[in-house]
Amino acid sequence: MEPDTNILKYRALEEVADSLSFTRASERLGVSQSGISRMISDLEREWGFRLFDRDRNGASLTPEAEALMPHVRALCSDYRSLGEQIGCLREPSSGHLRIGAFSSVATYWLPSMIRRFQEDHPGISYEILMGDYTELEAWVSEGRVDFAFSRQASDSSLESAFVEQDEYMAVLSAGDPLAGEESIPSYALNGRRFMLLEKGGGSDVGDYLEANRAKPDVFFRTWDDCSVISMVREGLGIGVLPSLILRGLPEGVIAVPLSPPLYRRICVIRRGGRPLPPAAESFLGYLGCRR
């Protein structure tokens, strides 16, 4: 479905906002750079304020543009969904899937789901965005992704469907004094060098430590599960990671349950009151193929 002039302007705004580059927006939309600039100028003239500040380093959103972007993204998302719905009615095996996920789901669930889905729907293309819980909620709310694998949504405008419970485990080197224990009590983490799985100042693990008054020596913070495993393998300390990422641990690294245990609830989150594009709805029917 060819976009009309106004929708193309909004898509140009979305692409420049995402890439902060008129050149990259031009490449992604297949429109000349002068065409992108003209569309942004048209919007600025229609709306009565600047959308971007530009310098030698690229473009940055003005506060006015920042305030509008959730609405622009939602509008562009709805237009894409409309096009996908029309395409599926014409050709049921076509479409484009935009999925949000955290890294362990992207690594261990999505490949097998996509493989099985692709066998039945070979005309589907895919885009996967990986982020933390806050980013995933924002992407779903803005329409940047059709749905996301995340925790239960805190935003009441989003719907959450429980998929699976995943237990967190203490991850330590095989030579660690705690390696032979059946479980590791939270107090045993006190004073231990610790790699905290966290981004943006909040996490399940951080909440667990606080709730159980455990005070490890946190010297490394990251949202990358694999970085924690690598640090543990080098004997730099202990981490706590969800079981899903712990399949096929490298030699010399082991996982031990925590006491009390810690779990995360993996959910599919989507915008409330809105139907998913047909391809996305069909894809969720393959959740049973995630192993």
User: Which portions of the chain are predicted below pLDDT 50?
Assistant: 1
Sign (positive or negative) of CA dihedral 26, 30, 31, 36: negative
Q: What is the pLDDT of residue 203?
A: 82
Q: What is the pLDDT of residue 258?
A: 96
Per residue in 173-214, pLDDT (tens digit) is 999 989 889 999 999 999 999 999 887 656 889 899 999 999
Q: What is the pLDDT of residue 1?
A: 47
Pairing of strands 253-259, 238-242: unpaired
Q: What is the pLDDT of residue 166?
A: 93
Q: Mind giving me the DSSP string for the chain?
A: ----HHHHHHHHHHHHHHHS-HHHHHHHHT--HHHHHHHHHHHHHHHTS--EEEETTEEEE-HHHHHHHHHHHHHHHHHHHHHHHHHHHH-TTEEEEEEEE-HHHHHHTHHHHHHHHHHH-TEEEEEEEE--HHHHHHHHHHTSSSEEEESS-SSTTEEEEEEEEEEEEEEEETTSTTTT-SSEEGGGGTT-EEEEE-BTTB-HHHHHHHHTT---EEEEEES-HHHHHHHHHTTS-EEEEEGGGGTTPPTTEEEEEEES--EEEEEEEEETT-PPPHHHHHHHTTGGG--
- Kindly report the pTM of this predicted structure: 0.68
